[in-house]
Amino acid sequence: MKSLKTFGQLVILPLAVTALNSTPATAVSIYPIESDTTGFKDVLSEYQQFVYGERDPFDNPAAQRLDASQLLLDANHEVRVFFLDEGAGKRNDLFYSTTGPTTQNGTVFEDISCKAGCAISETDGNVNIGDWVNLGNFQAGTLFDFTLGAINRTDGQTDLYRTQPSLNPDGLDHIVAYEYKDRVVIGFEDLFGPLGATGGRNEGSDRDFNDTVFVVDMPVTQSTSVPEPTSILGTAIVSIFGIIYHRKRHLRVNPTFANSSPHSQVPSPQKG
């Protein structure tokens, strides 16, 4: 069984916005892969090669490694996010935010639990492989950020894993990104601490970066290639300018995102 967390009301608190073309966070609808019109459903199996068994590192030498903090949209585009897999014993939440010509933020998937076919699945799961959401239309030059909210099993507090390791609660990388056939494949590690570490808030992490895996249908541009980190893979993301959420079902927290930049200091969330 996965870790329980609270479930209840979602409250959006937009703070100051500097861009004129700005959209506040809104709820998104989840669609089945059969309704996809981008062609992703025809190549879904190719992207599943990125995901192996639980505790196997998330990697693909045939794809181009990206800097997950520099996911810059290369052209005007309608951006969709497809759920690919999970190897998590937790029910995590995935958020996004954008800065630049189009400023927007919100939830991508929440209380993530795969129904069947994933590295870890549950009969009461709420998402299928290939399920997707439409984030909307974005202008070229928009910078995308993603973040994962995960409950730490040692104390019930929420850990928010972002682009910059220095902003992560353990100071480590927690996200890896690749470009493959004009889409971006992203994997998160949701366990606190170095590989295998225990004691304190450490959760004996396997550092496999397959706890939440998704594909973003977006053309990106990056100026340089990204070297592999010394630990198995990584980097994390977020910048949502005003979300406090509280839910009552399964073990859940109330993270507050009070800054619009992933490079600015974000106060630590408190347990709800």
Question: What's the pTM value of the predicted model, to 2 decimals?
Answer: 0.75
pLDDT (tens digit, 9 = 90+) per residue, 21-42? Answer: 444 444 579 999 999 999 999 9
Number of separate helices (H) and strands (E) present in the chain: 1, 15
pLDDT, residue 89, reads 86
pLDDT confidence bin for 15, thresholds 50/70/90: very low
Kindly state the percentage of the chain with pLDDT values over 90: 57
pLDDT (tens digit, 9 = 90+) per residue, 219-259? Answer: 998 754 554 443 333 322 222 222 323 332 233 333 333 33
pLDDT (tens digit, 9 = 90+) per residue, 132-178? Answer: 999 999 999 999 999 999 999 999 999 999 878 888 999 999 999 99
Strands of the chain (E only): list them.
Answer: 10-12, 22-23, 64-66, 71-73, 77-85, 93-99, 103-109, 132-138, 143-151, 158-161, 175-180, 183-188, 212-217, 220-221, 243-245
